[in-house]
Structure 1
Amino acid sequence: MELTCTENFSNAARASRDKVIFNDVRVINNLLNDEMFSIPKCDYFQTIQNDLQPFMRKVVTTWMLEVCEEQMCEDQVLPLAINIMDRFLCICPIKKQQLQLLGATCLLIATKVRSTNMLPIDLLSAYTDYSVTYEHISSWELLVLSKLQWNILAVTGFDYIDQVLERCSWGHESQFLRRHANTLVSMCYTEPSLIQTPPSVIAAACISSAIRGLKLSSSEVALRDTCNMLNVNPRTVEFLVGVIDNAVSKVAPSLTPTTPESKTTVQGYESPHYGQPETPTEVENIYF
């Protein structure tokens, strides 16, 4: 019997709007109540990790971002993988030579939890130029899970994006808004200075920054609505928007939109142009 799956998920349609999820205020309340349990408990660079520096985390998380882009992983994979990594580093000290191994392991775990397609261990090993072996990743998977007591699920900034956009009239003002907001969420999770920032604040700032970047007329209304919905301080959001804009300016040669024909476009999103992920990694261009 032929058991080969021949379905093509590359152009899979998104599920229709679920009224139960997006009309019930308890969903957002539960996210806000649960997010505190998944925020890293400390600045591990100061307390736990004697051999690691913030720039090392930046290098590895950017490599993780490039791997997810190259493999077209779902948006929710990277924030969860980095959250798992941060929570593990709050508990277990490691050597700097093991940081990329940890990043690859967390990507494996995150794709098992929040992706339709798991990243194979052999592929993750290849992305490290085989400096990390199959045996390393498989053994560290058990180590990470045991240290976190198998509590790997977490509320991330990604979880709030659709909740906010689907509940507000301005949420559909641009077809690129969701895509840009999710891209900024991923970028925020690579920033060492935002390790202990609540996911709700990250989401609010990314939505606000995306709206301003797209030059939509509802920027002021969107900021007010988002802050009220997620119960965050507008001043905190404004400060974080500045951090996001500064991070974007470091990796984007130009914020001027270009024509879709001049770059790769996937489902209406102008995809970042990364090269093949390498070790150490180098960010090339991100276009918005």
Structure 2
Amino acid sequence: VTAEARCKLVSWLIPVHRHFGLSLEALCLAVNILDRFLATTPVAADCFQLLGVTALLIACKQVEVHPPSVKELLALCCDAFTRQQLRNLECIVLHRLDFDLAAPTASFFLEHFSQVRLEARGADAGEAADARSLAAGVAELSLADYAFTKYAPSLLAASSLGLADRLLRHRSPLDLRISGYAEGILRDCMDQLQLLVSLNGRSLSLLLPSEVAQKCPWL
């Protein structure tokens, strides 16, 4: 599977997960399941979309109270696949991953670092909320770019928050030392994320709440 094919699939999954009102955690976990499966198993091009919705279904069963139904997911594939095909692939994925579905995600660390920020003395709740929203959009955008798979989820989350504070010109930014990463490592990831944002500003604006997008005139 090429990086371009992966990009197209994840770029398709992003609006799908938003269509169903799913959490960023569900999307991150789905991409994690997708990547881990692809690392061990070759997949035919005509089954790639089926793998995407299967990974999303498995992820939703782990983290969502009301996951989308098989019928709803297949409808988004223009009914190109049958219920049995999805169920069969679901079993294959689960067995290939040895039912080991839990994984650290950028979404988890975004929540963790944001909570630590709020507990700090003199924290600005408004800035923290805006940074969290913008960072979530940046992290979501990065999921489709294969180049970012080399970064650990915790590094990606910390760098997304750091970049969000920089772009929003916050007076009380997150102390990135809490991430445990060296300044140079954080700077490298933040620079790559900023390049991603500069190349995909319009796409990012569609991922943000309107009140946050209005604070980003550079989009």
TM-score range, shorter chain: 0.7 to 0.9
Structure 1: tracts of 5 or more residues without a match: 1-51, 258-262, 272-286
Deviations 1:93-118 (A, max 9, x none): 11222221111100000111011211
The residue aligned with 1:62 is 11
Query: Superposition RMSD on alpha carbons, in Å?
Result: 2.6
Q: Distance in 1 between matches of 2:63 and 2:186?
A: 27
Q: Distance in 2 between matches of 1:120 and 1:269?
A: 32
Give the C-alpha shift of residue 201 in structure 1. 0.7
Alignment of 1:1-288 (within 5 A): 52-168=1-117, 169=120, 170=123, 172-174=125-127, 175-219=129-173, 222=174, 225-226=175-176, 228-253=177-202
Is the CA contact (8 Å cut-off) linking 2:10 and 2:144 kept in structure 1? yes
TM-score normalized by the length of structure 2: 0.86
Is the CA contact (8 Å cut-off) linking 2:156 and 2:189 kept in structure 1? yes
Deviations 1:178-232 (A, max 9, x none): 222222222222211122321111111111111122221234xx2xx22x22211
Structure with more helix by fraction: 2
Relative to structure 1, is the Cα distance of residues 264 and 186 closer, same or farther in structure 2, using a 3 angstrom cutoff? closer
Deviations 1:15-73 (A, max 9, x none): xxxxxxxxxxxxxxxxxxxxxxxxxxxxxxxxxxxxx2101100000111110112211
Q: Distance in 2 between matches of 1:110 and 1:229?
A: 28
Is the CA contact (8 Å cut-off) linking 1:107 and 1:119 kept in structure 2? no
TM-score normalized by the length of structure 1: 0.67
Structure 2: tracts of 5 or more residues without a match: none
Query: SS of 2:24's equivalent?
Result: coil
Give the C-alpha shift of residue 144 in structure 1. 0.4
Q: Distance in 2 between matches of 1:265 and 1:56?
A: 25
Relative to structure 1, is the Cα distance of residues 215 and 56 closer, same or farther in structure 2, using a 3 angstrom cutoff? same
Query: SS of 1:176's equivalent?
Result: helix
Is the CA contact (8 Å cut-off) linking 2:137 and 2:207 kept in structure 1? no
Q: Distance in 2 between matches of 1:147 and 1:122?
A: 24
Count of residues paired in the alignment: 211
Q: Distance in 2 between matches of 1:153 and 1:244?
A: 26
Query: SS of 2:160's equivalent?
Result: helix
Give the C-alpha shift of residue 249 in structure 1. 2.4
Q: Distance in 2 between matches of 1:129 and 1:270?
A: 32
